[in-house]
Amino acid sequence: MRSGYTTGACAAAAAKAAALRLAGAGLEPGGLVEIPLPGGQRVSFAISKSGLSKASATASVIKDAGDDPDVTNGAEISASAAFLAEGKPSSVAVKGGPGVGVVTRPGLPVAIGEPAINPVPRRMITQAVREAMGADLRPVEVTISVAGGEELAGKTLNGRLGIVGGISILGTTGIVKPLSGAAWKATISASMKVARAMGLETVVLSAGRTSERAHMRKFKLPPPSYVMMGDYAGYSLKEAARKRFGQIHICAQWAKLIKIAMGTPDTHVRSGVIDMGRTADFLRDACGIPLPERPYNTAREMFLSLSAPEEAAKKVCTKAAAYGHKVSGLPVTAFLVSYEGKVSVNGFYSLI
């Protein structure tokens, strides 16, 4: 599958193009600008727009995320560059403009009140601008903007991280690898950092938004306590241990919870469609659940066939919590969320 480029790489390319215009280069839309990536390779970006005024220069590029289903794919990332009246020679001040979020909570690699432009993209932008300026040592201010960034942010997890008003400028390599899961895992880790920085001891790992909302309605924990683990159960449990939380809540619907109870670290279908025969054996043998002997097409059908669903659910929750404790070493509570979006039963496993 085709790789693409991060928002950080696109911002660096736009910044270099704007700096080149500021320095007097005749870079026009459709032209190419080349930047270095953190790994040492160099890549070129096509300029979408560019402009020059007496005070500043502007340029933009269109993000190409390759075959990765990134919400920012196709976004226009812009930069304006202007000389500063004062500042250290060769310095580059990186600012955030419209569509770039602002950090409002601790625990992220960017300070509260600063634009959500991560350290590696900041270095990429600075390096690209200095390349463009060459021997001109005048200090430069670069402002990064994203067209429609505030709307795009609504489709990301920025809100739960305390990033408001736009998207984040991210990327540690400059390259997006399609469907790698790296971005999701990075968000899990960042969410936990925020929660710990706020002094929270309990983290809630949810398999999906329905499960998360159900837990929120019932327990009303602080919003930063909630981390959307998605399909990355094993990674999230280990990360919670690394971040030294005091306890973990797992909440999921039946099919996902069974996978966790069976010790499945990645519950996505790409890792294997749930084996109905193996699942039935697990429920009968490991959980002691009387399950009718017949073929099943789905896990939901299996649940609906149970004569004592509440008791069965408690046993599966207990198994899921035991797996969570085995992986993390922390006290774990597992909650089953009904298909109607309600927390129905739970099991508990702790060191005590």
3-class SS letters over 322-350: HHHHHHHCCCEEEEEECCCCCEEEEEEEC
| CATH code of the domain covering residue 343 | 3.40.50.10720
| Shared domain check, 314 and 275 | yes
| Shared domain check, 239 and 308 | yes
| Shared domain check, 334 and 205 | yes
Select from 156, 176, 196 the last residue of a domain.
176
| Shared domain check, 141 and 238 | no
3-state SS string for 169-225: ECCCCCEECCCCCHHHHHHHHHHHHHHHHCCCCEEEEECCHHHHHHHHHHHCCCHHH
Confidence grade of residue 349 (pLDDT, cut at 50, 70, 90): very low
Distance CA 332, CA 342 (A): 19
Across 234-239, average pLDDT? 96
Domain count, the chain: 2
pLDDT reading at 268 higher than 60: no
**Paired tokens of 314:** 């408690």
pLDDT reading at 179 higher than 80: no
The strand ranges marked E within the chain are 4-5, 32-36, 42-46, 49-52, 57-62, 76-83, 92-96, 99-100, 102-103, 140-146, 163-164, 166-167, 175-176, 202-206, 226-228, 247-252, 332-337, 343-349
Give the pTM: 0.72
Confidence grade of residue 121 (pLDDT, cut at 50, 70, 90): very high
Distance CA 211, CA 227 (A): 11
6-42 pLDDT, tens digit each? 999 999 999 999 999 999 887 788 899 999 999 899 9
Distance CA 209, CA 201 (A): 21
pLDDT at position 274: 66
| Shared domain check, 207 and 276 | yes
The answer to whether 116 and 168 have CB atoms below 8 angstroms apart is yes
